[in-house]
A and B are shown apart, each in its own frame.
Chain A
Amino acid sequence: DTGVSQNPRHKITKRGQNVTFRCDPISEHNRLYWYRQTLGQGPEFLTYFQNEAQLEKSRLLSDRFSAERPKGSFSTLEIQRTEQGDSAMYLCASSLDLGAVEKLFFGSGTQLSVL
């Protein structure tokens, strides 16, 4: 297993278009997280899944954002009607549910630019 994979690495879109990102976690990991990171800031939590169940969503996740993890494997994050403020790096991480000693393994992210 080569780790967490995210596609595409870069996405340029026009304002108002829909975009979808994919994350393939480490195969035995039951948790999957989505974060967003803007320049000079740390990653901000968006949502996470325990297997296929989406257990928590941040207030940052407006109704234009939707995430899925069918069958508890890969996950997709869709942004509808993109806005310039959505421009950011979108990071995916996976982990085993080990409570407070849980370790996150991140992908390299998808850089979104909304023109």
Chain B
Amino acid sequence: DAKTTQPNSMESNEEEPVHLPCNHSTISGTDYIHWYRQLPSQGPEYVIHGLTSNVNNRMASLAIAEDRKSSTLILHRATLRDAAVYYCILRVNTGNQFYFGTGTSLTVIP
């Protein structure tokens, strides 16, 4: 299984930026980095993905280290609705599965 490591939990104040780290030292050249989040009582939802370059979308930004052994999901202004478990996943090009770890539980403080 493609392995990622994330902190178990993080806290952020509302309306402040949040940086969620992920280590994936065993990443290979064609593996994509995906992020999903899971709100309480819901299934996970897609957030963002990238290969080498930093990526932005309406939900978040993804910053990928130059050696690709780590990445950071950036929420630019945390809201209470962003409180969720965030999963960093390596999507191997030759595989057909998404392996979820235990993720990072984000608490947003009003």
Contact = CB atoms under 8 A, between A and B. Distances in A.
Given A100-B30, A100-B32, A45 B98 contact: yes
B43 A100 contact: no
A13 interface: no
A56 B44 contact: no
Contacts of A35: 100
B76 to A, nearest CB: 22
Contact residues of B: prevailing secondary structure: loop
A106 B97 CA distance: 14
Given A102-B91, A104-B46, A106-B45, A41 B102 contact: yes
A46 to B, nearest CB: 10
Nearest to B50: A101
B42 A108 contact: yes
For the residues of A in contact with B, the DSSP-based class is mixed
**B interface, size bucket:** 20 to 34
Interface string B77-107: 0000000010100011100111111110000
A108 to B, nearest CB: 6
Interface residues of A, number: 25
Most buried by A among B45, B92, B100: B100
Interface string A94-115: 0000011111111111000000
A100 B31 contact: yes
Contacts of A26: none
B100 A100 contact: no
Interface of B: 30-32, 36, 41-46, 49, 51, 85, 87, 91-93, 96-103
